[in-house]
């Protein structure tokens, strides 16, 4: 219970008793209902009496994920619940989810023009809930196999976000340098690792003091899928990290720490959301356009490829599962296309 409560503290029960817009019309009206098995009844509102938390497939599924995945998949499932007019995960009796519901949900999400990657993530979340429904014996093996066989729509989009110019990076670090408190040093080291290490915000937030290997000038990173990698650091990043450690001290624990308004370190933990908030604050101070931690990561990949680094090496440094993911951030193709288009001549003359 404690694990589920701690892991899913954002999944609070719905408090509104109002009936959302035609749940049956949205889902069960889209496909023939299943009537042979009472357990396969439609997803009706209000939900039937829900099982205890430890028997709810959506909570069991989410509790088994890493914090970053839990946050993402909770958001996806809440998005599905929103289709039903519900404000929380409890708006849907997930243990009664069946093949036709998953198919209808995908249709509804496609109509909302979601990107293919978002559709794939939503389907992965629904399949994860279905797996736990099967494990908890709400779902038969045949029905679960049908859900597993559903494929997400194909397609691709360009990566979200933007590249960070060198001048912007310098301005961010200057804003940190102008802060005489320990937060200035901490934030400079965070920004340096986000860029020079290409770390995801969850990865950088989760670093422990022991992950920094001073003698080898590298950090040990535990990434997606519990995959370990070692990322060597550029000289400037090492200098920024050493400056922060001089203020932090050598107490074991998280590499970073919260700092109160008086400039005192209050602990050795830092959340991924705090990293995001920090970057927004420093961008505002530096007069830099809004950016995210992922923008620094994509710039890390693009800058290395522009400099001639081998794409397979960059893939390893970034912790991408596939080189195809790394290739999406390769700006060289765009530059080649621009040079090619520049060879054309359009004989346009403005009207007199």
Summarised one tens digit per residue, pLDDT across range 61-70 is 999 988 778 8
Q: Of the residues 224, 229, 328, 331, which is catalytic?
A: 224
List of E strands, the chain: 212-213, 218-222, 228-232
Compute the distance between CA of residue 139 and CA of residue 41 in angstroms, rounded to an integer.
Answer: 12
- Check if the beta carbon of residue 102 is closer than 8 Å to that of residue 43: no
Q: Of the residues 200, 201, 248, 298, which is catalytic?
A: 200
- Check if the beta carbon of residue 40 is closer than 8 Å to that of residue 96: yes
Residue 81 has pLDDT above 90, yes or no: no
Summarised one tens digit per residue, pLDDT across range 155-211 is 766 667 788 999 999 999 999 999 999 999 999 999 999 999 999 999 999 999 999
- State yes or no: is 99 an active-site residue: no
Q: Which CATH superfamily is domain 166-334 in?
A: Intergrase catalytic core (1.10.443.10)
pLDDT band at 299 (very low <50, low <70, confident <90, very high): very high
> Hey, what are 267's tokens?
């602990």
Q: Of the residues 162, 218, 294, 328, which is catalytic?
A: 294
> How many CA atoms lie within 13 Å of 289's alpha carbon, on the beta-carbon side?
8
- State yes or no: is 329 an active-site residue: yes
Buried b (16+ CB within 10 A) or exposed e, 139-157: beeebbebbeeeebeeeee
Note the residue count of the chain.
352
Q: Of the residues 96, 101, 186, 297, which is catalytic?
A: 297
Q: How high is the pLDDT of residue 30?
A: 37
Residue 307 has pLDDT above 80, yes or no: yes
The whole-model pTM stands at 0.66
Q: Of the residues 70, 96, 98, 320, which is catalytic?
A: 320
Highest-pLDDT range among 112-121, 276-285, 300-309: 276-285
Summarised one tens digit per residue, pLDDT across range 239-292 is 999 999 999 988 888 999 888 877 788 776 788 899 999 999 999 999 999 999
DSSP string, 205-238: HT-BGGGEEGGGTEEEEE-GGG-EEEEE--HHHH
**Cβ neighbour number for residue 225 with a 10 Å cutoff:** 9
- State yes or no: is 229 an active-site residue: no
Q: Where in the chain is the domain with CATH 1.10.443.10?
A: 166-334
| Average pLDDT score over the chain | 81
Q: Of the residues 99, 144, 212, 329, which is catalytic?
A: 329
- State yes or no: is 224 an active-site residue: yes
- State yes or no: is 101 an active-site residue: no
- State yes or no: is 214 an active-site residue: no
Residue 303's closest CA among 286, 284, 326? 326
pLDDT band at 22 (very low <50, low <70, confident <90, very high): very low
């Amino acid at each position: 219970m404690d694990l589920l409560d701690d892991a899913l503290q954002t999944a609070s029960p719905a408090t509104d008793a109002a009936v959302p817009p035609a749940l049956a019309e949205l889902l069960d009206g889209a496909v023939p209902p299943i009537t042979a098995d009472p357990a396969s009844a439609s997803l009706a509102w209000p939900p039937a009496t829900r099982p205890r938390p430890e028997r709810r497939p959506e909570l069991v599924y989410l509790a088994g994920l890493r914090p970053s995945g839990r946050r993402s998949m909770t958001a996806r499932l809440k998005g599905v619940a929103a289709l039903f007019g519900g404000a929380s995960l409890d708006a849907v009796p997930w243990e009664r989810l069946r093949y036709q519901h998953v198919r209808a949900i995908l249709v509804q999400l496609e109509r909302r023009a979601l990107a293919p990657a978002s559709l794939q993530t939503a389907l992965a979340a629904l399949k994860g809930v279905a797996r736990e429904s099967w494990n908890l014996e709400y779902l038969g093996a045949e029905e679960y196999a049908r859900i597993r066989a559903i494929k997400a729509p194909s397609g691709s989009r360009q990566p979200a976000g933007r590249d960070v110019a060198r001048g912007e990076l310098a301005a961010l670090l200057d804003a940190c340098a102008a802060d005489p408190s320990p937060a200035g040093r901490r934030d400079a080291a965070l920004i340096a690792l986000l860029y020079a290490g290409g770390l995801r915000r969850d990865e950088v937030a989760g670093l422990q003091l022991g992950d920094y290997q001073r003698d080898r000038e590298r950090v040990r990173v535990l990434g997606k899928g519990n995959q370990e990698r070692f990322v060597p650091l550029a000289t400037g990043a090492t200098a920024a990290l050493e400056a922060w450690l001089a203020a932090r001290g050598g107490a074991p624990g998280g590499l970073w720490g919260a700092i109160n308004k008086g400039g005192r370190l209050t602990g050795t933990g830092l959340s991924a959301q705090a990293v995001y908030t920090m970057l927004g604050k420093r961008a505002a101070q530096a007069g830099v356009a809004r950016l995210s931690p992922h923008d620094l990561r994509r710039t890390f990949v693009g800058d290395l490829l522009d400099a001639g680094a081998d794409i397979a090496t960059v893939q390893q440094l970034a912790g991408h599962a596939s080189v195809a993911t790394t290739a999406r951030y390769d700006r060289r193709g765009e530059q080649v296309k621009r040079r090619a288009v520049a060879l054309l001549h359009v004989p346009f003359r403005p009207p007199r």
